A and B are shown apart, each in its own frame.
Chain A
Amino acid sequence: MHNSINDISVVSKILRGDQAAFKLLYNKYSKVYLLICLRYVKSRSDAEDMLQESWIKIYNDLKQFNPSKGKFIHWSKRIVINTCLQKLRKNSALDSFENIFEIGLNISTTNNAIDKLSLQELTKVIQSLPKGYRTVFNMYVIDGYSHKEISTILEISESTSKTQLLKAKRFLKGHITSPQFDAVNSYA
């Protein structure tokens, strides 16, 4: 794994107290982190709260970053995801994994349907998921956690994790291919 030399030098400068370097890092990765937060919560203000907490944690834990063990972006993304999950747990957002009325399974989807949607629209689609489905979907499909890891973090069984994922995907299929699907583009 090769870290961007810029990232390493910027991190070194931040550790020496360079505030301008911190701003540089913030400008570079804030959008990436905010996108993660928006996948885990529905409201923009909650997402920005999580983003703020994540940046504070990243700053305080910078000394622990070891470039020989991985890229900075991967290390920092984990911190953001963990911050989001902690927040969700605090708000009891992960307490229930419900059975939602499922849209008909006969609707099929292709990669083209997803490809046609913008990142913003896809984010909105994910936000439309019920909270339990959304969390498992994000962790497994996008953030690369295994079902075993998900079950440990969320304190659910592996089978529950798999079931939630399956239902999330069915739900998404229905939403993406449904003629009633209407992406909202406003994030003001």
Chain B
Amino acid sequence: MQSTLMLENDNIWQEKFNEESLDSEAWLTPNANLFDSITHSIEIANKKKKRKWIILFFIIGLMPLLLLLLPSNPNRSGAINSTDDLITELDSPSVDKEKQEFVNNSETSIIADLKNIEPVTINDNSKITNSTPPNSNNSNGVNDKVQKNENLIIGIDNNQENLEDTNESYSNNEHQISHELSLNKRTKSNPSSELRVLKQLLPIKRIDFLPLPVVQIPLINLPDNKTIGVAPTPFKRKKVQVGFTSEFWNFNLNNNYVTALNPADFNHGNGIGYSAFINFSQSITKKLYFNYGVALQQITFESGHNSSIAYDLSNEAENGMSNQFDLTMASPLGFLNSEVLIQRQSIANDAITDLAIDLNNEHSLTTIDLFVGLNYKVLNYRKLSLGLGIKGGINQLLRINNKLASVNTNHSNFLSESTIITKDQNSIKNLTPYFGSSMNLEFNIDDNNGIGITASLSNSLNPIYQEGDFSTNVIRHNIGMYWSTSF
């Protein structure tokens, strides 16, 4: 008895507390600000999600820039930059003495020419000679004659600085300076004093040379590359490739899914579409490249199957001759829902008419790939190169769009009036990792640019659709063209 009473009480509790309509219960109205709090929390959560994607794409976009900033090998060797050895002290008795010696010494002269300088290496015993000995009477002026000196060249900058030299025998000329120098003694005995004099006498802004006895001097207007052994065009370590491919996606439904859909005569087409991609390559060796990039795909495909419905005259709306049906439909990527309105064209013989309907759906996917890989140049022949590669990545579904393209009935008195997709597939894996191989054939237009053909085959590592025992995998093929730039 007690248990019966208790059971009856349970039912009362259930009835009281499970009414769907509580409009009359004013005490159950939530706080007026609650809805705003809810929408605000949802907005913040969505912004955080978007922020993560933005940061991810920013990092990917920044990667090529960071690679560009990686240091590269210098093209020239033997850069001479040190001027630390120069002695800045100019006004000292010993310097004055040596200056005077230079003036009086007519054995050699050094002529500097900004426009025409040849490289030389000097040793201790070299003398600087000039085909035209300096005119000793010209000590108050500047020797205007400019000649190539095969033994010693001093690179100078053209500047307007006035010399601080108090020696009246030297004056500054904008383009040319003649200078008498005997290096033998000075080189051996006092290189540093020689440098002091040089700095004092010449409008030298910069002297680039190694410490004596060997001097290597930077060159200007090199007449012949072979003379100085300039390095050949450097190997281009980085590439960027931009291109388009045609995409072909094979949807492989597992046996359980196929078996379940067979009674409905399910059929589907494979996905066809296109992709735009950008790929960055960084050479590891001359033939092996590391790639990474992003691609955007747009794929469309169709599917269809049969279904059966029962048109009931008693379900017709007051002013209409139609029945509305909520249908669950199958696709390669799972189940979706629709509302279909079937209209009766004329008087029906039966209160309930069984109809077989043929449903045809159109689907489109927008996805984005992030990938990394390796590419190896197996063949180089003149301007052609053939590369083979492997790559892996993740494919993110951005958008799916479904359309119930047609609904055909087996009874001419009942036709489809309108259709609407009410719910898309909800068991699609938005993020699918994949792995594959690729091949590319590239033609070099010039040292920096090329065009190529690329083809690849990829297999998803996880099913793109999974729901209970049903699943679908994707195998992707593509072929296309690209433009390549090296730097």
Q: Interface of A with B (CB < 8 Å)?
A: 2-3, 5, 8-9, 11-12, 15, 19, 22-23, 26, 30-32, 34-35, 38-39, 48, 51-52, 55-56, 59-60, 63-68, 73, 108-111, 114-115, 119-120, 122, 141-142, 144, 169, 185, 187
A-B contact pairs, 30 of them (CB 8 A): A5-B324, A5-B339, A8-B337, A23-B35, A26-B35, A30-B30, A34-B30, A35-B22, A35-B25, A51-B34, A52-B37, A55-B38, A56-B38, A56-B41, A56-B42, A60-B45, A65-B423, A66-B335, A67-B326, A67-B337, A68-B328, A73-B20, A109-B9, A111-B5, A111-B8, A114-B13, A115-B12, A122-B17, A142-B14, A169-B6
A114 and B25 contact, Cβ closer than 8 Å, known pairs A12-B422, A59-B42 = no
Cα–Cα distance between A63 and B425 once the two chains are bound (Å): 9
Q: How far is the CB of B366 from chain A (nearest CB, A)?
A: 16
B18 within 8 Å of A (CB atoms): yes
B285 within 8 Å of A (CB atoms): no
- Chain B contacts for A169, CB-based, 8 A: 6, 9
B29 within 8 Å of A (CB atoms): yes
Cα–Cα distance between A63 and B30 once the two chains are bound (Å): 25
Given contacts A15-B424, A30-B28, A68-B337, 14 further A-B contacts (CB under 8 A): A9-B339, A32-B22, A34-B28, A48-B34, A51-B30, A51-B34, A52-B41, A60-B45, A63-B426, A66-B335, A66-B423, A66-B426, A119-B16, A142-B17
Q: Interface of B with A (CB < 8 Å)?
A: 5-6, 8-10, 12-14, 16-18, 20, 22-23, 25, 27-31, 34-35, 37-39, 41-42, 45, 324, 326, 328, 335, 337, 339, 422-424, 426
- Chain A contacts for B426, CB-based, 8 A: 63-66
A32 and B337 contact, Cβ closer than 8 Å, known pairs A9-B422, A114-B13, A120-B27 = no
Cβ of A122 and Cβ of B16 under 8 Å apart? yes
A-B contact count (CB 8 A): 109
A142 and B22 contact, Cβ closer than 8 Å, known pairs A59-B42, A67-B423 = no
- Chain A contacts for B27, CB-based, 8 A: 120, 185, 187
- Chain B contacts for A34, CB-based, 8 A: 28, 30
- Chain A contacts for B423, CB-based, 8 A: 8, 11-12, 15, 65-67
- Chain A contacts for B23, CB-based, 8 A: 31
Q: How far is the CB of A19 from chain B (nearest CB, A)?
A: 7
